[in-house]
Structure 1
Amino acid sequence: MTGRLVNEVVLVTGGARGIGRAVALKAAEEGAAVGLIDVLGDQLAATKAELSGAKVATAVGDITDEVSVRQAVGRLTEELGGPVTVLVNNAGKNSYADATTMSVAEWDGVFDVDLKGAWLLARQVLPSMIEHRHGAIVNVASIHAQLTTAGMFPYAAAKAGLLGMTRSLALDVAPHNVRVNAVSPGYIATDLLEEFFGEFPHEREHALGVHPLGRIGTPENVAEVVCFLASEAAAFVTGANWAVDGGLGVRYA
């Protein structure tokens, strides 16, 4: 424990499992009060139990609905005793669709979670960050935002949009001493990755073979980078996208 997030109120979306859970545990270890939003109530309760020694609050909420976002953030800030100073937009949704047959509702479902939700949360917490001239947002994008493969439509498009939002917001709020960055995980051992391997079983062995580090990453690997970017240790970092992909993104063919 380094205490890099002491006195911070960290809000993590999709905090019930995977990368979100790992970020919550690491943030609490670093001294933060932690708020979690997820639609998975039972798993959210289990994660809260793991954080029993920390100041933590949870809310079951839908990040794609502005009323739900407003109510969830309001409850969490009240329980945690202060406004959100760090937002981690982690909630995400995979998609493996055919562009010619995908319905508009299916398209909206992906973009609502992967992009719109991040904006709704940022819109909710930024006024306080701007007022206090203190805050950080970390958006969890994906290697697919810049380097993708066939069959990932429109997930790659949504995550590319999240990087664009990161850069745009970073410039808009920089005069207020608020920072906005992104991390782009590669293959990370989460439920979403297992979903991907279930859809494309041949990819499991292939993934291990193409990683320069020779392994799949862990949620904790990503959480370390997220919490660094959220902390004052990264005070001069904004508008950046940090790859957490075991070197996959720099490999040729």
Structure 2
Amino acid sequence: MNPLQDRTAVVTGGAQGIGEAVVDVLLAAGAAVAVLDRDETALDRATARHAAHTDRMLPLAVDITDEAGVVAATAAVAERFGPPTLLVNNAGINAYFDPATMTTEEWDRVFAVDLKGAWLVAKQLIPAMRERGTGAIVNVASLHARLTSAGYFPYAAAKSGLVGLTRSLALELAPHGVRVNAVSPGWTRTALVRDYFAAQPDPAAAEGQVVDVHPMRRLCEPHDIAEVVAFLLGPGARGITGADIPVDGGLGARFAG
């Protein structure tokens, strides 16, 4: 079955990590997919991996914090596939700042990527969704939106804002048949997480310690997140909007004491 046949999706940060897995799943579901990413090398790799789907995949190098670039990219998608009615705001950056020494420029950069960029892309796609009376947006937030740790400032604030943006957009767009939801991954086995473990004095022990606090005794894989994203975009989720779905192996349900 191809539940997203004849639909066009835009995936930001789609050339690696969770975004790459989302692109995999959406292509398998029959969608045409525009992959937006600022990393041109990663885009080249993604294009090579999906050589069999060049008729349904459009790689675009764009920085989602650049409004002019976003306008040009989304126009290119509409020209190639028609106006997109599916959006996955996945692009984001981590943040590890001290609140007293972080500069205003660093603060602005974190929020530009993790929050403002999601709005800039949605802003370009919403008019066509409203006109067609259909559409779905999924924002990739984080478990940090409601449970965080020291040393991640101000990541939790940015991701909390993304969940708030999700709720606001859901209410604004519901009368037009457009649904907006968020997914909040926990520890996910991406290249960033693998690099984090590799940088520890005892990588195996560090990974084991993290795995042990998960009720499911495993980390999520990128495709675990991608499958939930695809579900929220598809017809099976027609009754869901304004929700934030944790995909964290149960970590967010665990009492820390």
TM-score bin, normalised by smaller chain: over 0.9
Cα pair distance change 1:67/1:245, threshold 3 Å: same
- How well do the aligned residues superpose, as a CA RMSD in angstroms? 1.4
Q: Does 2:223 correspond to 1:204?
A: no
SS in 2 for 1:53: helix
Q: Which residue of 2 aligns with 1:251?
A: 254
Tell me, in whole angstroms, the C-alpha distance in 2 between the residues paired with 1:190 and 1:15. Answer: 13
2:240 corresponds in structure 1 to 237
| C-alpha distance in structure 1 between counterparts of 2:182 and 2:16, whole Å | 19
User: Which one-letter code corresponds to 2:61 in the other structure?
Assistant: V
Q: Distance in 1 between matches of 2:137 and 2:195?
A: 27
SS at match of 1:136: strand
**Cα gap change, 1:203 to 1:64, in 2 (>3 Å):** farther
Equivalent in the alignment of 1:63: 64
Deviation at 1:203? 5.1
The CA distance in 2 between the partners of 1:167 and 1:65, in whole Å, is 24
- Aligned partner of 1:161: which letter? G
What amino acid does structure 2 have at the position aligned with 1:164? Answer: G
In structure 2, give the amino acid aligned to 1:146.
R
1:194 Cα deviation (Å)? 3.6
Q: Which residue of 1 aligns with 2:221?
A: 218
Q: How does 1:149-164 map to 2 (within 5 A)?
A: 149-164=149-164
SS state of the match for residue 121, structure 1? helix
What is the match of residue 113 of structure 1?
113
- Give the structure 2 partner of residue 176 of structure 1: 176
- The equivalent of 1:34 in structure 2 is 33
Deviation sequence 1:129-188 (CA, Å, 0-9, x none): 001001000000000001111111001100000000000100000000000000000000
- Tell me the amino acid that sits aligned with residue 87 of structure 2: L
The corresponding residue for 2:13 is 14
Counterparts of residues 44-123 of structure 1 (less than 5 Å): 44-54=43-53, 55-80=56-81, 82-123=82-123
> Which is worse superposed, 199-208 or 141-150?
199-208
Kindly state the Cα deviation for residue 49 of structure 1 after the two structures are TM-superposed.
2.1
Larger mean CA deviation between 14-23 and 200-209 belongs to 200-209
Matched, 1:165 2:168: no
Q: CA deviation at 1:193?
A: 2.3
* Alpha-carbon separation, structure 2, partners of 1:204 and 1:98: 25
Instruction: State the one-letter code of the partner of 1:185.
Output: P
Contact 1:11 1:86 survives alignment (8 Å): yes
2:195 and 2:107 map into 1 onto residues whose CA distance is 19
Measure the CA separation in 2 of the matches of 1:138 and 1:69: 18
What residue identity is the alignment partner of 2:217?
G
In the TM superposition, residue 195 of structure 1 has moved relative to its aligned partner by: 5.2
TM-score of the pair, normalised by structure 1:
0.96
Which amino acid in the other structure matches residue 83 of structure 1? Answer: P
CA contact (8 A) 1:4 1:233 kept: no
CA distance in structure 1 between the aligned counterparts of 2:184 and 2:159, rounded to whole angstroms:
9
Aligned to 2:144: 144
Point out the more displaced range, 39-48 or 165-174.
Answer: 39-48
SS in 1 for 2:52: coil
Asked if structure 2 preserves the Cα contact closer than 8 Å seen for 1:28 and 1:51, the reply is no
